[in-house]
Amino acid sequence: MTPEALARLHATSFTGAARWSEAGFAALLSDPATFLNATPNGAILGRVTLDEAELLTLIVHPDHRGRGCGRTLLAAFETAACANGAREAFLEVAEDNQPARALYASSGWHAAGRRPGYYAGKDALILRKTL
């Protein structure tokens, strides 16, 4: 998936400052530590540094939510992170994003901290999972 296509997909799920640009995706994808798993209906972007992985973004097109796409992409991220040497993974999720929080909790992710005001004044929860 191209940076342009990723930016278009991201715009279906995020607004304002939370929306990532084509240039932002291009910069991330140019980093050899970054990996992408994409389908026509969603994408997940992560990176591994030493033995830690960071889930950068998980996007599922609104028309395809509730069909297991997010769970499939999350499992692909975890598999790729392990294959690249990660032993644990981290992510940030908006505190008020209940569907995403439910997905992560049911997949074994646990609260590890909080980032006040991280999403345009809204708090983010930092989640962690041992891989």
Q: For 51-68, what is each residue's pLDDT tens digit?
A: 999 999 999 999 999 999
Reported as a pLDDT band with limits 50, 70 and 90, residue 24 is very high
Q: Residue 31: its pLDDT value, please?
A: 95
Q: Residue 117: its pLDDT value, please?
A: 93
Residue 51: give its domain's CATH number: 3.40.630.30
End-to-end CA distance of the chain: 26
Residue span of the structural domain in which 79 resides: 3-130
Helix 69-83 / helix 98-106 crossing angle, nearest 10 deg? 50
The C-alpha atoms of residue 90 and residue 108 are separated, in whole angstroms, by 12
pTM of the model: 0.92
Q: What is the mean pLDDT of the chain?
A: 95
Q: Residue 18: its pLDDT value, please?
A: 77
* Structural contact between residues 48 and 81, judged by C-beta atoms closer than 8 angstroms: yes
Q: How many domains does the chain have?
A: 1
